[in-house]
Structure 1
Amino acid sequence: MLPMPSAEAPAQSIVEAASVIVFRHQPGELPELLMVKRSKSLSFAASAVVFPGGKVTPADLALASGDAEQGARIAAVRETLEETGLLLCAYPRPTAEQAKAARAMLARDEDMAPVLDRFGWSLELDKLTAFARWLPDFKPGRIFDTRFYLSDIGSGAIDLEPDREENTQLFWISAQSALDGIATGKIQAIYPTRRNLERLALFADVNEAFRHAIATPAQIIRPKIRNVNGQDMLVIPRDSGYPINIAPLSQIKLR
């Protein structure tokens, strides 16, 4: 079992966060997901491959009039634009030049409100489909309470660039190819990313993934530590939609 935290162990603090799993697809091919590789200099998940996303800011919540769910959706849209240049849910649909200008504005103050005002956009946040919510609160320190959403951009014929600060690369990849990369060590991933990829790999069609997300009751996934035959395992609920609900505790590390 893990050692008990000492008196000097950091207190647990919960950080609200949001992430978007963006699909693109072509007829007869497996859908691909937009993923980014985090900088090796970051304090959390350095060098890991993740879905675009980040912390919910006070500005996100203010724009959402204090609604936590809407604030998370705004954060998911904002972070995706900041990290990749892709603007989701904006109406009227932005041009490439407008999206680039909006990204530059966010680089300065991380506030969507002046961006929406400048371009006359509104956010159609219901176009994001809730997929999962992870809260791995089995350990002390900083804990991310992350809401994951699905978004479909069709063929994905759009030029994107990583921000080069938090993320050094971005790429499109099928869920199974990403899992294959993790298995061979070419890709590093943290526990929730790995479980999400396994769940997404169940679907050969984007519509199947969205139907599954809508039909699966939403719940907060809190992994628990269980000792199984002398080995510490991390366990998640069987009814949460994931094909693998128990895995070695070592998978909380990058691998």
Structure 2
Amino acid sequence: MNGIPLPAEFGERARDILAGRIRPVPARDAATVVVLREGPEVYLLRRKATMAFAAGAYVFPGGSVDPRDTDHAVAWAGPSPKEWGAVFGADDQTARGLVCAAVRETFEESGVLLAGPGADSVVEDTTGDDWEADRLALIDRSLAFADFLDRRGLVLRSDLLKPWAHWITPEIEHKRFDTRFFVAALPYGQRTRDVGGEADKVVWQTPADAIGQADRGEIFLMPPTRRTLSELVAYGTVEEVFAATREIITFLPEAVEIDGRFWLVTPE
């Protein structure tokens, strides 16, 4: 078992939840995408210290599913929602929302767009002012993802995503997410940029370097991010990552009391 000690306030909350005095907050469906480029390196954002969830942590792009992400009007190429549902143990509608959220959130938080004019093409440049205006409109929810794709004549490329993991936020947290992890390669010609918003810094790093910085206390990684990075250390190229066989296992860290102190543990 891997474990980290919990602050006293979380220990009291864990005790109340275990005793049935309070009920856990429901977990919202969410998607996270590990964007890779040769090295291989991963794209990480540092969440602002003012954020209510994971403040100051280095994370991958991602976020909650918008109800409009399940819109059947979203132009689609690649594995179907039904196929994604079979991988992640979700119904077709939930799977559609997860994949759309993965592509939408990646664009919102990195400028990388996993979509193209057709099933075998991908947008090469998303750095113009018009793209930035659309990105901001998606963030403030004044523009639906389906309308964004339709207006630009684009289709979502679900085949550019690879399923990687499934993590559910511990029951002791005040904000909880039921998150499916994906990996994706940076499309040829596209560039990430400092997009601001929920992040105050973005970096490209090898998984080993990121873990090393975390070990030295230079950066903060949440358990799902750290575990994902530790898994990626084994691969020498982006192609090896995509060729890897993955069994999607659901991880739900739990609060456990040991000798009067609560620890958050994740079963191996």
Question: What SS does structure 1 have at the residue aligned with 2:71?
Answer: helix
Compute the TM-score of the two structures, normalised by the length of structure 2.
0.76
Partner of 2:183: 150
User: Structure 2 counterpart of 1:223, which letter?
Assistant: P
**105, 109, 113: which one aligns with 1:79:** 105
Distance (whole Å) between structure 2 residues aligned to residue 174 and residue 117 of structure 1: 36
Partner of 2:193: 161
**223, 235, 238: which one aligns with 1:203:** 235
Partner of 1:187: 219
**117, 136, 139: which one aligns with 2:150:** 117
Given the alignment of the two structures, is residue 22 of structure 1 paired with residue 38 of structure 2, yes or no? no
Compute the TM-score of the two structures, normalised by the length of structure 1.
0.79
**82, 100, 119: which one aligns with 2:132:** 100
- Ranked by relative contact order (alpha carbons within 8 Å, sequence separation 6 or more), the top structure is 2
Partner of 1:54: 63
Deviation at 1:32, TM superposition (A): 0.4
Tell me whether 89-98 or 192-201 shows the greater mean CA deviation.
89-98
Partner of 1:240: none
Deviation at 1:168, TM superposition (A): 1.2
- For structure 2, list consecutive stretches of 5 or more residues without a partner in the other structure: 1-5, 75-80, 82-91
Deviation at 1:233, TM superposition (A): 5.8
User: Structure 1 counterpart of 2:234, which letter?
Assistant: L
Deviation at 1:82, TM superposition (A): 1.0
Distance (whole Å) between structure 2 residues aligned to residue 158 and residue 125 of structure 1: 17
Tell me whether 122-131 or 161-170 shows the greater mean CA deviation.
161-170
Deviation at 1:211, TM superposition (A): 2.4
Deviation at 1:227, TM superposition (A): 6.5
**156, 167, 176: which one aligns with 2:208:** 176
Distance (whole Å) between structure 2 residues aligned to residue 46 and residue 140 of structure 1: 13
Deviation at 1:142, TM superposition (A): 2.5
Q: Is the Cα contact below 8 Å between 1:9 and 1:140 reproduced in 2? A: no
Deviation at 1:5, TM superposition (A): 1.2
Deviation at 1:217, TM superposition (A): 1.8
Deviation at 1:195, TM superposition (A): 1.0
Deviation at 1:11, TM superposition (A): 3.6
Deviation at 1:230, TM superposition (A): 8.7
Deviation at 1:225, TM superposition (A): 4.6
Partner of 1:134: 167
Distance (whole Å) between structure 2 residues aligned to residue 141 and residue 116 of structure 1: 34
Q: Is the Cα contact below 8 Å between 2:58 and 2:221 reproduced in 1? A: yes
Q: Tell me how large the CA RMSD over aligned residues is.
A: 2.7
Q: Render the CA deviation track for 1:115-144: whole Å, top value 9, x for unaligned.
A: 011101111112210000101334253221
Q: Render the CA deviation track for 1:5-60: whole Å, top value 9, x for unaligned.
A: 167746422111101101101xxxx3001111111111000111000011101111
Q: Is the Cα contact below 8 Å between 1:225 and 1:235 reproduced in 2? A: no
Q: Is the Cα contact below 8 Å between 1:10 and 1:141 reproduced in 2? A: no
Partner of 2:25: 12
Given the alignment of the two structures, is residue 223 of structure 1 paired with residue 253 of structure 2, yes or no? yes
**Count of residue correspondences:** 230
Distance (whole Å) between structure 1 residues aligned to residue 233 and residue 259 of structure 2: 29
Distance (whole Å) between structure 2 residues aligned to residue 11 and residue 226 of structure 1: 15
Kindly tell me: are residues 9 and 172 of structure 1, through their superposed partners in 2, closer, same or farther at Cα, counting changes over 3 Å? same
Question: What SS does structure 2 have at the residue aligned with 1:67?
Answer: helix
